[in-house]
Structure 1
Amino acid sequence: MAAETGVVEELRGLRARVPQIGGALAATVDGLVLAEDIPPTQAGQQRQRPEAEPLAALTAAALGLAFRMNEATGRGAFRELLIHGELGYVATYAAGPAAVLTLLADDRINVGRLHLEGRRTAGRIGELVAEAQRSATSHPAPEVPPPERRPPLERRRLPLERRRRGSPAPE
C-alpha cells in the first residue's frame, strides 16, 4: 500500500514523543499488518517481543468483540479499546473505517497522554490509508488482455452436462 511509508513515520514519531510506548502496530480491520514499529527484545527484559502478524490477528479479533459490545450496549461507533495488564497496557484505536492502531505501553505511562497521542496518530493514519485507497481507486491498474492464442473461456470449458453427452463447444 502506498501509505506504508507515511504510516511507519507516524509510528516512529509517536514512539519518539512518548518513550513509554514500547511498540506500535497499524493494521487493517481484518488483521493484515500495514506497518509496525516494535523493537527487538533486549537482554534482561522480562517481556518478549510480540510478532506483528499474530498481534494484528488478535487485534482484529478484539476489534470484532469491541464492535459487538458497542452495538449491544448502544454506545455508537467503535473508537478505542484499552486493556490494562499487570505489566502495562494494550490500546487499540480506530484509524478510519479501514484500519486500527495498536499500542503497547509500559505500566508507568500516563494513560491520558497515551489516549491523546494514540487518538491523534490514529487520525493521521486513517487519513493516510483513506488517501491511499482513493488514489488506488482513481488510478486502477490496467487490465491485462487475455492471450489471443487461447480460445474464450466458454469454449474451453463445457458445462458438465454437455461433456457427458459429448456435445461440441458453443460457436
Structure 2
Amino acid sequence: MRDAVLAELQKLRGAVVGVTDTAVASVDGLLVASDTDEVRPDVLAALAAAALGLGRSTGEEVGMGELREVVTRCQRGHIVVYALRGKGLLVVLGDEGLDITDLHLRSRPAVDSLGAILETG
C-alpha cells in the first residue's frame, strides 16, 4: 500500500507547478506515506488532520455538506488538505508559484485513487 500511495504523491508533485511537498495520513494524523523535502512528515500529518477535522466540523455546523478540502494561504505559499473518502487525507504544500487552479484539477484523480487505496488497505 505504501508504495502505491508514494507513486501517486510523486505523480501529483511532478504534474503541478509549485508543489513542494505531499503526504497522506489517516484522519487521526498517522502518517501513511510522504514525498517531502524540508518538512517533518509526521508533524505535517498530525497538523493536517487537525485542519481537516476543524474544516469538517465547521462545514457540518453551517450546513455546507461533506468537506472536500481545506485551503490555507500563507505569506510564502499554500497548504491544501483534501479529504480521502473519510479514510484519510492528502496534504499538499506549495510555494508562491503554486498554480492552485491546476492543483485542484489534477488532484481530483489523485484523491479518488488514494481514497481507493486506503479503503482496500
Equivalent residues of 1:93, 1:119 under 8 A apart: no
Equivalent residues of 1:90, 1:104 under 8 A apart: yes
Normalising by the residue count of structure 2, what TM-score does the alignment of the two structures yield?
Answer: 0.95
Q: Secondary structure at the match of 2:45?
A: helix
Give the structure 1 partner of residue 60 of structure 2: 71
Equivalent residues of 2:18, 2:95 under 8 A apart: yes
Normalising by the residue count of structure 1, what TM-score does the alignment of the two structures yield?
Answer: 0.68
Q: How far does residue 17 in structure 1 lie from its aligned partner after superposition?
A: 1.1
Q: Secondary structure at the match of 2:67?
A: coil
Q: Which runs of no fewer than 5 residues in structure 2 stay unpaired? A: none
Q: Which runs of no fewer than 5 residues in structure 1 stay unpaired? A: 40-48, 133-171
Give the structure 1 partner of residue 91 of structure 2: 102
Q: How far does residue 117 in structure 1 lie from its aligned partner after superposition?
A: 1.6
Give me the CA root mean square deviation: 1.0
As a proportion of its length, which structure holds more strand? 2
Deviations 1:29-70 (A, max 9, x none): 00000000012xxxxxxxxx2201111111111111111100
Alpha-carbon distance in 2 for matches of 1:7, 1:111:
22
Q: How many residues align?
A: 121
Of residues 16, 21, 24 in structure 1, which corresponds to 2:22?
24
Give the structure 2 partner of residue 37 of structure 1: 35
Stretches (4+) displaced over 4 A: none
Q: How far does residue 130 in structure 1 lie from its aligned partner after superposition?
A: 0.9
Higher relative contact order (CA 8 A, sep 6+): 2
Give the structure 2 partner of residue 43 of structure 1: none
Q: How far does residue 120 in structure 1 lie from its aligned partner after superposition?
A: 2.1
Alpha-carbon distance in 1 for matches of 2:25, 2:74:
22
Say if 2:3 is the partner of 1:14.
Answer: no
Q: How far does residue 118 in structure 1 lie from its aligned partner after superposition?
A: 2.1
